[in-house]
Amino acid sequence: MSMKRYSSAAMSSLLSLQTPAKKKMMVNRPMENKKACDVFISHRGIDTKRTIATLLYDHLSWLNLQPFLDNKNMKPGDKLFTNIDDTIRNCKIGVTVFSPNYCKSHFCLHELALFIESKKKIIPIFCDIKPSQLGVVNNGTVPWKDVERFKLALEEAKHTVGLIFDSSKGNLSDLVTNASKIVIESLIEMESEQRIFNNTPVTHVYDDFRRNKYYYITHMVLECCRELVDSVHGWCCSGHRMTRHGASRG
């Protein structure tokens, strides 16, 4: 059973999403409008680019959101710091995929610090590392002012509830699904709060929230039904084989 995607018509009024036509052209091309970035994915490439980061990017894109991942949205010739800094300042949410080598990267820590300084909501994913293990790795090349920035940002991240993932026994599909759910719910809440702040009628906010919540719940129910059908089918097939086997022995 194929899963139902979110309706771009329903989501656009709430999350300012792309239309389906634009979405098809989005993957593997630089983002033309950085202000439209919904989610910036901060990660350490050698640890998680081929797994969590890319899978999460693809899943969020499939859901009609506009995530940012460096190798997906940047092209040769782009100014690295300029593009990343502008995108973080204009994004709505940051997903930080902490991994064993994350804190060894000046780029990663700079991104995290910029999230905090820009007062962005961050959703941490702790992959093969505990929050208590996060710390600045300074080999003497990091300027003192940056060390202080990075320490403050890491302390903030340590005390932010996130997702824990053990790559040796965890399910990547479940992690990506849960992270995407949190991203969507966070975007809906942020937009609802913004509408209240702008004196938008509260009833409209709740109507939009319930409508989009319904789409997500429908999506999850369909997934559960698919898994249930697969389980029942497997059980029935297994029972059928046992019956035939028993008959042959008799």
What is the set of active-site residues? 111
Q: Encoding tokens for residue 31?
A: 């983002």
What is the rounded end-to-end Cα distance, in angstroms, of the chain?
39
Give the per-residue SS3 of the chain.
Answer: CCCCCCCHHHHHHHHCCCCHHHHHCCCCCCCCCHHHCCEEEEECHHHHHHHHHHHHHHHHHHCCCCEECHHHHCCCCCCHHHHHHHHHHHCCEEEEEECCCHHHCHHHHHHHHHHHHCCCEEEEEEECCCHHHCCCCCCCCCCHHHHHHHHHHHHHHHCCCCEEECCCCCCHHHHHHHHHHHHHHHHHHHHHHHHHHCCCCHHHHHHHHHHHHHHHHHHHHHHHHHHHHHHHHHHHHHHHHHHHHHHHHC
Q: Encoding tokens for residue 163?
A: 């997702």
